[in-house]
Amino acid sequence: MTSEFDVIRQYFQRAAKDIPLAVGDDAALLDIAPDHQLVTSADLLLQDRHFLSDTPPDTLGHKALAVNLSDLAAMGARPLACLLSLGLPSIDHGWLQQFAHGFHTLAKAAACPLVGGDTTRSPQGLVVGVTVMGTVPRGAALRRDAAKADDDLWLTGYLGAAYVGLHVLWGKQTVEAAHHASLIEQLQSPQPPYIFAPHLRAVAHAAIDISDGLMQDLGHLLEASNKGAELDYQALPSHPAIQHLDGKQLAEAVLTGGDVYQLCFTAPREHRQTILQLAKQHQVRVSCIGRVTEQKGIAIKHLPHPDWMPSHLGFDHFLD
Amino acid sequence: MTSEFDVIRQYFQRAAKDIPLAVGDDAALLDIAPDHQLVTSADLLLQDRHFLSDTPPDTLGHKALAVNLSDLAAMGARPLACLLSLGLPSIDHGWLQQFAHGFHTLAKAAACPLVGGDTTRSPQGLVVGVTVMGTVPRGAALRRDAAKADDDLWLTGYLGAAYVGLHVLWGKQTVEAAHHASLIEQLQSPQPPYIFAPHLRAVAHAAIDISDGLMQDLGHLLEASNKGAELDYQALPSHPAIQHLDGKQLAEAVLTGGDVYQLCFTAPREHRQTILQLAKQHQVRVSCIGRVTEQKGIAIKHLPHPDWMPSHLGFDHFLD
């Protein structure tokens, strides 16, 4: 019979070079570079709440880490290591192998080795908890409370695809077959800009990840910074696979759709060219979507019809 | 209606002095003292698996952090900060207030402020995930792989009470009324030696926490150190509230009972007096229970009857 220790050894214990002590003691031991600060965040993913029970295990392993890497990216931090807590309904070796593959593949790409965690039986359903740790030079973290009036407002990646993808999986939305795979991939395999983000420290004032939707998370950034913003609706990067939606549906997906593990950041106008060059160099799509204002609230320019303004502005884990 | 952000603000956002940035951004930001290493560990507690649904919320808040502080103690680390991920079946303000009180009271006592985490709805039952971070001077962590032959083998605290307490709660064991409260307290409110443990770095070779039971966790320490041990059964500190059990039951509780958030550590004989003095100074009970041997395996001296040797040697999260 498989024990907890076998599960850990078999699927999650990898030699992590440069880590003084990883999986296998009471705790992991990590070095922090001199004059750097530790950045840390945790996310909990629950079956039927954050993912459907038939989610492919490799994409779930990827996503569990990706949503956490997105939080590090939002601070401009470089990944250091992660911990994984798994509550498993049963020991399914095929499932574990694929989950571990998805997790480790992203961990390797992001230089964020798995150094510890916990494994237990969870009869009520799968529980996936990830904690990430990263580092930033002292005082250099990108915070959400540092936006300045007249900063450009930027976004990485595209908007709305994960939201539409989820509605497709729920059977509430149909899309052309040509777009189906792309939408599901955006939902299940988010690619936060974890390599690009640390470069933003040199040019950006404030940043936040927009995992709860653009309007809600931009709202948090502006509230923390005591500012407002003017958005140009026409500049919002709606994902190519959702551009066939009718206007009101599209506006809802783009403005409120969550599960977007991308960044919204603010930067002074003089850095516009540098940001475009950095984005090109790191193959990250960036869009300048408006500007920060002293005037509070979010004004949306060029929205084709006032009725397109969604009444509900983002995802909340208790309201939804 | 209460949103995720209200839950975080209302119950978990405390001003943490000396923390550059805590609850309220994408991630927390922490300073690590120069020439120190980061020590980190995570534990996942699930309803009906690790605690009963009627566990008093303040003791659950306490225990969720305590089991993690025990891992830091086992490394000789000083607590730095913690993260809390909560999956809640519903928003029960009375419950949250008491849970937060239990959690924060221990966090304050241990100087381990809550700096972040996640809150989400969990229809299937309560999920409590905690990650702790601590620090040790570079190279000074107490590991499980450093026991030396002829080291004394030490234990902090008492054995067996949490195990018997759990059987009492399950209705599988009855005890005198005089012992009832004490056993439940040992189960629900463990007190790991988080202040004493960093002092052990100066005198101990190896350490482990015995949360899965003495025989199993001592086995892990010996295996990692490539050593064996000779235990003196008469020296094992069985809890006063279980001493009325019959011999075989007592031996099982003491040797295999889990949920003991105390340390087993090894130290050279010349430090015996220093360890006793340190323990007295920090009001921690310590017992010298045997010695480390080159000969592999665990030999138990002075076991009154060979039949008292338990066949099953500890708790495993998948086997039980």
What's chain A look like in SS3? CCCHHHHHHHHHCCCCCCCCECECECCEEECCCCCEEEEEEEEEEEECCCECCCCCHHHHHHHHHHHHHHHHHHCCCEEEEEEEEEEECCCCHHHHHHHHHHHHHHHHHCCCCEEEEEEEECCCCCEEEEEEEEEEECCCCCECCCCCCCCEEEEECCECHHHHHHHHHCCCCCCCHHHHHHHHHHHHCCCCCCCCHHHHCCCCCEEEECCCCHHHHHHHHHHHHCCEEEEEHHHCCECHHHCCCCHHHHHHHHHHCCCCCCEEEEECHHHHHHHHHHHHHCCCCEEEEEEEECCCCEEEECCCCHHHCCCCCCCCCCCC
Q: Give the minimum alpha-carbon distance from B293 to chain A in angstroms, rounded to a whole number.
A: 21
Chain B contact for A217, CB < 8 A? no
Residue with the larger pLDDT of the pair A278 and B117: A278
Q: Do the Cβ atoms of B120 and A49 come within 8 Å? A: yes
Chain A contact for B313, CB < 8 A? no
Chain B contact for A96, CB < 8 A? no
DSSP state of B195: T
Output b/e per residue, B145-168; b: 16+ Cβ within 10 A: bbbeeebbbbbbbbbbbbbbbbbb
Give the per-residue pLDDT at A1: 47
Q: What is the DSSP string of B254-300?
A: HHH------EEEEE-GGGHHHHHHHHHHTT--EEEEEEEESS-SEEE
Give the per-residue pLDDT at B19: 59
Average the pLDDT over A270-279 and give the result: 98
The tokens for A63 are 């996503």
Question: Residue B39 is nearest to which of A27, A70, A120, comparing CB atoms?
Answer: A27
Chain B contact for A268, CB < 8 A? no
Chain A contact for B218, CB < 8 A? no
- Kindly tell me if the per-residue pLDDT of A281 is higher than 70: yes
* Cα pseudo-dihedral B123, A260, A95, B47, rounded to 10: -20
CB A194 within 8 A of CB A69: yes
Chain A contact for B53, CB < 8 A? no
Give the per-residue pLDDT at A10: 73
Chain B contact for A30, CB < 8 A? yes
**A-B C-beta contacts closer than 8 Å:** 236
Q: A217-240, pLDDT tens digit by residue?
A: 999 999 999 999 999 999 999 999
Residue of A nearest to B145 (CA): A25
Neighbours of B18 (CB within 10 A): 10
Question: Residue B30 is nearest to which of A37, A44, A317, comparing CB atoms?
Answer: A37
Phi, psi (rounded to 5 degrees) for A312: -110, 125
Give the per-residue pLDDT at B320: 40
What CA–CA distance (Å, rounded) separates A262 from A156? 6
What is the mean pLDDT of each successive set of 10 residues along chain B, which is 320 residues long?
A: 64 63 74 92 91 91 96 96 93 92 96 90 92 95 95 97 91 86 92 97 96 94 96 96 92 94 97 98 97 94 87 58
Give the per-residue pLDDT at A320: 40
What CA–CA distance (Å, rounded) separates A265 from B125? 37
Q: A6-60, pLDDT tens digit by residue?
A: 666 677 776 555 556 666 677 888 889 989 999 999 999 999 888 888 899 999 9
Give the per-residue pLDDT at A110: 97
Among A136, A128, A114, A104, CA closest to A43:
A128
Among A282, A60, A312, CA closest to A156:
A282
Report A:65-84 residues touching B (Cβ under 8 A).
70-72, 74-75, 77, 81, 83-84
Report A:109-138 residues touching B (Cβ under 8 A).
115-125, 127, 129, 131-134, 136, 138
Lowest mean pLDDT among A23-27, A91-95, A190-194, B242-246: A23-27
Give the per-residue pLDDT at A65: 97
Residue of B nearest to A314 (CA): B3
